[in-house]
Amino acid sequence: MTLMTNLLENTQKDSRKNFADFYNTFDLDNIFSKPVANFVLNGKREVKNQQVVMSFLSKCISIYREHTRDYVHFSTSTHDLYEEYNLTHEIGIIPESLQVSTGREVLAINRAISDDEKSINAKATNDVRDALELDLISPKRSLDSIFNNVMAYQELDRRLMRAQIGDGLNIKTIYDVSQETKIPTDMLENLSLACHHKDDFENVYAKLTELQIPYQFN
């Protein structure tokens, strides 16, 4: 089994978790080009410091797996999440409201909340589920809620993963990252909390970025 096979197991759970996203999340462009990374992950090419690089990529995949949720097997449908949101929030939403939160087209959003079978594990559907489950929706937009959307949430998640791999040799747990940055563990485990308020988002983003040190095995 190749590392690429291990990586793509995440795609089966969340279609947004793919090779391109993995490559960008861990800043692999600092090590090799996309084609070379593809060959290495598929076991078709060796590189300098091969054993160290393969160990590094394996650690990256382990972190990536920990940050992958299962969007194929779920107990509550996207339609029910949408209905529940409108029942439990003072200000209701319509499909167009989810455009701002997800950056997706209304047609894709409508497919998601109608529980179209073909939409299961579609990127847009998974974004809609995140918006509804994590309350990444701001019916009353303001400067304070500018980062309360799925795109900002995903970016924080990528920065956390990059912080966890650190120098490429020593993997960090979320607890380790919390200790180094003084960001509360519960906020790192639930990054949507940091998205609800502008100051929280900017603070977490800045501190995670500080841990994105250059890889040490080149």
Where are the chain's structural domains? 1-68, 78-141, 142-218
- Report the pLDDT value the prediction gives residue 157, as an integer from 0 to 100: 99
Averaged in consecutive runs of 10 residues, what is the pLDDT profile of the chain (218 residues)?
97 98 98 97 95 97 98 94 96 94 97 93 98 94 95 99 96 98 98 98 99 87
- The structure's pTM equals 0.96
- Report the pLDDT value the prediction gives residue 141, as an integer from 0 to 100: 82
- Report the pLDDT value the prediction gives residue 140, as an integer from 0 to 100: 83
- Report the pLDDT value the prediction gives residue 7, as an integer from 0 to 100: 98
Angle at 56 between CA 188 and CA 189, to 5 degrees: 10
- Report the pLDDT value the prediction gives residue 10, as an integer from 0 to 100: 98
